[in-house]
Amino acid sequence: MKYCYFNYLVLFGLLLALGACKEEVTSVPAPIPTPVPAIDFGANDGYTGWDATRALTNPTDPTDWTTDATWNSAEMGLFAENNLDFSQPQLPASTWEVSAYPNPVVIGGKTQLSALLRDTDLAIPSSQLRILYTLVDAHYTALEYGLRDSVLKRFGVSILYPANKFSGGTLYRMYYVIYNTNNRQVYYKGHGDIKVMP
């Protein structure tokens, strides 16, 4: 009987020794993704002001309502599901005139997103032009989006600002692309910041 207990003790000791000799896992943990920084709305209160007739008012932000040369991963991701071709050079900034007015806008109000092709000699059929837009908060959360086909190389879209989506005293950013519906080529991409008031 003592011999049997001794065997059990030896077996238990061997199991403990094997457990202690287990090889340590030394794999490198996957890096934690770096979050994209919050939107920097820029200088001069961060937006360009227009009244309800589209007359320019103060302040002005020179980075708004023009073409953006590059977008970060979060910005590109806003249009990832649309299968757009961003590989071709954009048309010059002077080719288009884009605005959203009035700006600022009150909660429950609306702005008119307007875009027109200045270069009417550009050989792009009006029927192939479309604008796609999305309105986001400072952390790239999409709150509103839509599209509009051109009429005589112009776009006009009314955008509402309901209280269940927007907060007064807050800046939001609209991203837009103008592209060819046939080959998905992006001719123009940019952003504009909109101030929503209580």
Q: What angle do CA 108, 112, 118 make, to 5 degrees?
A: 170
Look at the domain 45-197 and name its fold.
Immunoglobulin-like (2.60.40)
Strand ranges inside 1-141, DSSP E = 49-50, 56-57, 96-101, 105-106, 110-117, 129-136
Identify the residue whose tokens are 């700006």. 103
pLDDT of residue 181: 95
Mean pLDDT, all residues of the chain = 85
pLDDT of residue 12: 46
Is pLDDT above 90 for 26? Answer: no
Secondary structure element (H or E) that encloses residue 2, with its range: helix 2-20
- So where are the chain's domains? 45-197
Is pLDDT above 60 for 96? Answer: yes
Is pLDDT above 70 for 183? Answer: yes
Average pLDDT over residues 17-42: 59
Q: Count helices and strands (H / E) in the chain.
A: 2, 10
State the pTM of this model.
0.80
Is pLDDT above 70 for 1? Answer: no
Average pLDDT over residues 33-43: 80
Of the pLDDT bands very low, low, confident and very high (cuts 50, 70, 90), residue 169 is very high
